[in-house]
Structure 1
């Protein structure tokens, strides 16, 4: 396992309504003593209760938490960690007693994409079925159905509650009809929110980072029985910052050729790790349109992009 972080995310079912599971209110991000940043007030984020797992100090003698799984190798993974402490922490998060009787079942393990300089995290999902519950919850917790979560994802409005990525990856993906974009098997990506794929690509970025996120707004993503195509992305596709290194141009080519011909390419700025793949985009799709600030476009080499572009509107020059 090395230094890889492993998180435990728990799906606790409502004994009174099997369609509902327990969410906890997430803590807001820390302040940075920057007036503009710190003045931003985000809406409340609800997600599955979770905790980082700690390795056992010594050999496992006995464990109160029993988790059923069809694959013994999955249990071997969990047996490396202090499950008793982790589950007790989660029960405390949601206001349940440590003695609460819960039947635990293994759900799945998900490897996080390589978003930062540290080793990608691994998340273990388990499902807990409470024998009984009096219905009382802490203020930081609430029961939510899959449909309720999907509705919040589809109707994103200012000040509305938001649904976190653990819910989407751990639960909603089972009900989601994924976008038809095929990501090369050598790459690991994340789709959150639905219709927005984030693909970390190796790039000439600043150390200690190794990757730059290629963001793809993908048409055609939908939830079964949850409103069809009314999502963040529909119709023609949009990609942001195709700045991968030459070693990953083959993977970028596979992604671009899988997208519609009427493609918009937006680059946030001119640095190598955000524009290095532009030549591949125009080679694979000469119908693509580049969207960029005029100062950015002037700094992009003609070898990287020789097609036309749409100037990004600068409000400072409109007055």
Structure 2
């Protein structure tokens, strides 16, 4: 009697991690450049102008009690998504785990979960129009081909964050109708968005390792805080695309526009003159050095 051979069950193939943007691309050139730091407040404010995102940040984020630490952690994640290589996907998974428990009711009475693609995709999407608008001031105008390349690279970052292609417009031509629909139907001056441009917000001083620096900060902080908040509001509104400003109800005058252009021109001329160790943030600088040396 012949015995039927039993086949060994095969395990499903593990899906490979999504690839981060390639070295030498658009994001590699700009994300770690210190000029990009000026664009982050505009992107974050546009994110939280979504009712669900604003509600989640209002309830769960440490942006009020630990604004400097929160900003540092967000910046670290961004650097890893672009320059982290094999660490990029792991950082994306870590961020998703942190958001698993964030849920509630938004300002319109709708239930939300932070990992709902409708919310999560908007958080990711905001970086693209802000980068284009602010880049015209701080870097240079880009060609239509470069705009498409930048969007393809931004899609790669979205995949690292766990977004599926079905969650995101797949071309620039598809992105703009989505973006304008979101501005028209979803975006509003949420509580958190208003706080981020308030010149009288309650802002604690940054932490300092040195006792002497902590003492100086304590003494000078009232004046420094006022100056910083005015500057933050200025770059937040200035580097936000005009149609997004209108959707949130933010005012912007011709005089402010002239000031922004003067400031941006100075930054655009002076920063490229700096040595790379001052122009790029540490992780970006190290990754770029490894790439040039062929050891990445």
TM-score (norm 1): 0.24
User: More helix by proportion, 1 or 2?
Assistant: 2
Choose 1 or 2 for highest CA Rg: 1
Q: Identify which of structures 1 and 2 has the higher relative contact order when contacts are C-alpha pairs closer than 8 Å and 6+ apart.
A: 2
TM-score (norm 2): 0.26
